[in-house]
Amino acid sequence: MKDAQPRTIYLKDYQEPDYWIDQTDLTFHLGEDHTDVTAVLQVRLNKSKQHEHLPNLVLDGTDMQLLSVSIDNQPIDSNQYTVTTENLSLPVSKEQFVVTINTRIKPQENTSLEGLYRSNDMFCTQCEAEGFRKITYYLDRPDVMAKFSTTIIADPKKYPVMLSNGNLVADEHLADGLRKVKWEDPFKKPCYLFALVAGDLACVDDEFITQSGRKVALKLFTEAANVDKCAHALLSLKRSMKWDEDVYGREYDLDIFMIVAVDHFNMGAMENKGLNIFNSSCVLAKPETATDGTYQRIEAIVAHEYFHNWSGNRVTCRDWFQLSLKEGFTVFRDAEFSADMNSRPVKRIEDANFLRTMQFPEDAGPTSHPVRPASYIEISNFYTLTVYEKGAEVVRMIHNIVGKEGFRKGSDLYFSRHDGQAVTTEDFVKAMEEANNVDLTQFRRWYTQSGTPVVQVSDNYDAANKRYTLTVKQKCPPTPGQVEKAPFHIPFAVGLIDSLGNDMPLDEQGNTTLVLDIKEAEQTFTFSNINEQPLPSLARDFSAPIKVEYPYTRDQLMFLMSHDNDGFNRWDAGQKLAVDIIKELVEHQRAGMTLTLDERLVTAYKSLLTSASLDKAMLAKMLALPSEDYIAEECDVIYPLSIHVARDFVRRTLAMKLHKQFKACYAANNIEKAYQPTADDIAERSLKNICLSYLTLADEQGIELSWQQYQQANNMTDRFSALSILENAVSVKARDYAEQALASFYQQWQHDVQMIEQWLSVQAGGEYTDLEKIHQLMQHEAFDMKNPNKVRALIGVFANRNKVHFHRDDGAGYAFLADQVLVLNRLNPQMASRLLTPITRWKRYDETRGALMKEQLQRIMKEKDLSKDVYEIVSKSLQ
């Protein structure tokens, strides 16, 4: 029986468990039809809780067959315990005892990709958040931390590689031809960090010497065909290990660190102790098949998972409401690492842009929740941008408040105080407070209040007294369950710019950027000795995850675009100018007027292209118009097709009017050289390719140039950019080239999993890919509904990026998405609920589209056997 209405779990109901588990010894017999698991658990009563009598031991477990159970070697008769679809409840007569549980599971049939499952011919696991309960009965909660040993027994011909957490302590061949290995992890851990891998895998070896001189063996396991795609991940791993020592003083603690690449994986990667499991798309790369974006993503994700060894594994979460304790902190850590390895301003622009485009809508939508949620139905639904990305911004704000050195003092205290413990975000903030003697009482609201604060700024210049005042009002719109919000503590970095474009000194030390502490609903800040009317540069470097409103004129934005000394705000001035212009064009388009482009945007772009003051990475960023998603986020009512038409008109007009400049810039950056994923080369390629995208809009010559680049490129970044440009270009010639390119691409790369994902996604997002084509691609041999990467590449990209066809007037795009969600609801509920996002925002769209989306949500809601994952998202969206 499933509950008709799944249960909501509340943070306020948190209690420690009745029992602890000190030692967990697991034995797996891996078989082709089923796997038998023996769990031997050393259990101890939690004496810090009051007990009138010994409570039953209630273990979590689902989707398995219980074969037998015993306590202290005494078999328990089945009439003495109770088993439901979610629990095993055992009578207890002692305070300390050993439970032995034998269960049978079917990894071959597990399409949810949680627990133990098969990916191609290998066994692998994913236990976070609650997958371990699909392996055996257990106290599946992160505050129960035990030492683990894992014994694996399997056919060595099929599974020559058998891995688990920790160190290998035994390896023997058994009389029946099977092999038995035993792994022991010396560190206590919650079961969500358990991992097992068995398969026929090749291994690429490396090593790292830690700061104290210990040698750590590094091993990357993958299918034999991919051994030439491991170098970048291993290099990134070594850089991460070194960086965590240099910046946080954190050294790796085991003698071996393993990464396994897996094709079927719901997430990007998983930080299991000593045995990270990666979605193969987030770890494998070589120049012929990986783009710059892939290289950078791999560097960031390898670092992220490695950094978890301290921020997540050594110090873990008490309960899942604290998820941002490990994720927000670790995303902040990996962002700083990437900034140190590449261009810092560009990394900041990318992160802030991503947050504004993707997390702000989440924070304003039906599933809006605080960084530390107060309740959930299915925790898998809370691996969100709010918990990860906004959580990282919250940590960044603490960093900015206490400074770099203060932050290090705080993190040192946090790690030393809580090593080996399961703790809360409160413990993290406390350590930061105590190490720095600051008061973060009001700041804590960032963890408990949802929604994006809006900061309205007005100013006044008093020429007679040379005094300039900024009046700042903050408000936060109501979000589900939170109508009224108390004021946030917002670190607000401000600069003032004079009429020549220079930063004015703001205090006696001559600082040109000051961080104002906004704490009230309304506050005024005064600057003295200001010699002329300044132009304010607000929330520099995106100093807080907020929206800033100030009535800049278009001329002022043009001025900031060429003069702001803050890289982020300089870029943002260009975004604001473009958004303002495109929003007006959206109105004109809807009113049936002829569109004309404000010449100022052309002038601004022209001066970008001819300016010597920008590096290539910044220039490439600044030449990109705001995305349709970002423009939509800035509109009161979203008309997706009008936005598409208006933005497209602006791109074409810029392409025509600045043809000469784009051509010169393309030529200057189209330099033949061997591929290297260095920051400079990446910047050069991104600049070249954005110029190419404009040139292709201008004339047939541009299309020929793209075709030429597609054929001649010596790396996947250039080739894929050209393919994507052709796939979205309008002329008959371009369609013909795109067809040829797609066919040859498939011909060449059909056996390369990562390439086929790219091949699917470039088509799914293509302007000329209609629903019929999507249906055809779903029938293609390259597609597999059981593989999350392919589902994301085809269905996910279609629903999120193909605005024209997904949002077609008759609602067929929405019905299509609902159909796929219903199929995945049975196969892989996590994927199903994530895929839903585009239609959950139905209230933001025009009435007709909103109603069509809502209709599909209601249709899903009527489905029998709706998973908790899908039920939670759909029911919240309909409220």
For binding to Zn ion (CB under 5 A), which residues are involved? Answer: 327
Q: Cβ distance 48 to 16 under 8 Å?
A: yes
Catalytic, 739? Answer no
For 696, the 3-state DSSP assignment is helix
Residue 137 token pair:
């009965």
Which of the following is catalytic: 114, 130, 299, 305? 305
Q: Which CB atom, from 303 or from 506, has the smaller least distance to Zn ion?
A: 303
Nearest to 629 by CA among 358, 300, 348: 358
**Helices and strands, number each (H, E), in the chain:** 30, 31
Q: Cβ distance 277 to 671 under 8 Å?
A: no
The DSSP call for residue 631 is H
For 491, the 3-state DSSP assignment is strand
Nearest to 369 by CA among 354, 353, 381, 357: 381
**Cα dist from 816 to 450, 635, 691, 776, 836, whole Å:** 32, 26, 35, 13, 11
- Cβ-based neighbours of 464, under 8 Å, separated by 6 or more: none
Written as one string, the DSSP assignment of 528-540 is -S--S--EEEESG
Q: Tell me how far, at minimum, the Cβ of 529 lies from Zn ion, in Å.
A: 47
Q: Tell me how far, at minimum, the Cβ of 804 lies from Zn ion, in Å.
A: 35
State the Cα–Cα distance between residues 432 and 439, nearest whole angstrom: 9
- Cβ-based neighbours of 52, under 8 Å, separated by 6 or more: none
Q: Tell me how far, at minimum, the Cβ of 308 lies from Zn ion, in Å.
A: 6
Q: Which CB atom, from 273 or from 808, has the smaller least distance to Zn ion?
A: 273
Residue 876 token pair:
């919240």
Q: Which CB atom, from 129 or from 135, has the smaller least distance to Zn ion?
A: 129
Q: Tell me how far, at minimum, the Cβ of 307 lies from Zn ion, in Å.
A: 8
Q: Tell me how far, at minimum, the Cβ of 246 lies from Zn ion, in Å.
A: 21
Residue 197 token pair:
């891998």
Phi, psi for residue 836 in degrees, rounded to 5:
-65, -25
Residue 645 token pair:
């038409």
State the Cα–Cα distance between residues 372 and 427, nearest whole angstrom: 13
Phi, psi for residue 245 in degrees, rounded to 5:
-70, -45
Q: Which CB atom, from 101 or from 127, has the smaller least distance to Zn ion?
A: 127
Helix or strand (DSSP H, E) at 186? strand 179-189
Q: Which CB atom, from 325 or from 874, has the smaller least distance to Zn ion?
A: 325
Q: Tell me how far, at minimum, the Cβ of 836 lies from Zn ion, in Å.
A: 22
State the Cα–Cα distance between residues 754 and 750, nearest whole angstrom: 10
Q: Tell me how far, at minimum, the Cβ of 165 lies from Zn ion, in Å.
A: 17
Q: Tell me how far, at minimum, the Cβ of 514 lies from Zn ion, in Å.
A: 34
Written as one string, the DSSP assignment of 750-797 is TT-HHHHHHHHHHHHT-TT--HHHHHHHHHSTT--TT-HHHHIIIIIH
State the Cα–Cα distance between residues 86 and 134, nearest whole angstrom: 10
State the Cα–Cα distance between residues 147 and 186, nearest whole angstrom: 6
Residue 498 token pair:
């004079």
Dihedral of CA 236/239/243/249: which sign? positive
Q: Which CB atom, from 10 or from 354, has the smaller least distance to Zn ion?
A: 354
- Cβ-based neighbours of 88, under 8 Å, separated by 6 or more: 58, 59, 61, 66, 69, 81, 82, 101, 137
Q: Tell me how far, at minimum, the Cβ of 330 lies from Zn ion, in Å.
A: 5
Q: Tell me how far, at minimum, the Cβ of 245 lies from Zn ion, in Å.
A: 20
Written as one string, the DSSP assignment of 606-670 is HHHHH-SSS-HHHHHHHHSPPPHHHHHHHSSSB-HHHHHHHHHHHHHHHHHHTHHHHHHHHHHH-
Nearest to 775 by CA among 820, 810, 829, 811: 820
State the Cα–Cα distance between residues 796 and 788, nearest whole angstrom: 10
For 117, the 3-state DSSP assignment is strand
Whether the upstream peptide bond of residue 129 has omega within 30° of 0, thus cis, is yes
Q: Tell me how far, at minimum, the Cβ of 622 lies from Zn ion, in Å.
A: 31
Give the position of tokens 């003051």. Answer: 613
Q: Which CB atom, from 389 or from 628, has the smaller least distance to Zn ion?
A: 389
Q: Which CB atom, from 422 or from 870, has the smaller least distance to Zn ion?
A: 422
Helix or strand (DSSP H, E) at 516? strand 514-518
Q: Which CB atom, from 272 or from 763, has the smaller least distance to Zn ion?
A: 272
Q: Tell me how far, at minimum, the Cβ of 309 lies from Zn ion, in Å.
A: 11
State the Cα–Cα distance between residues 624 and 626, nearest whole angstrom: 6
Q: Tell me how far, at minimum, the Cβ of 304 lies from Zn ion, in Å.
A: 6
Q: Which CB atom, from 334 or from 433, has the smaller least distance to Zn ion?
A: 334
Residue 299 token pair:
């560097």
State the Cα–Cα distance between residues 146 and 655, nearest whole angstrom: 62
State the Cα–Cα distance between residues 392 and 339, nearest whole angstrom: 14
Longest dimension (CA), the chain: 96
Q: Which CB atom, from 204 or from 303, has the smaller least distance to Zn ion?
A: 303
Q: Which CB atom, from 327 or from 752, has the smaller least distance to Zn ion?
A: 327
Q: Which CB atom, from 391 or from 536, has the smaller least distance to Zn ion?
A: 391
Give the residue numbers marked as catalytic. Answer: 305
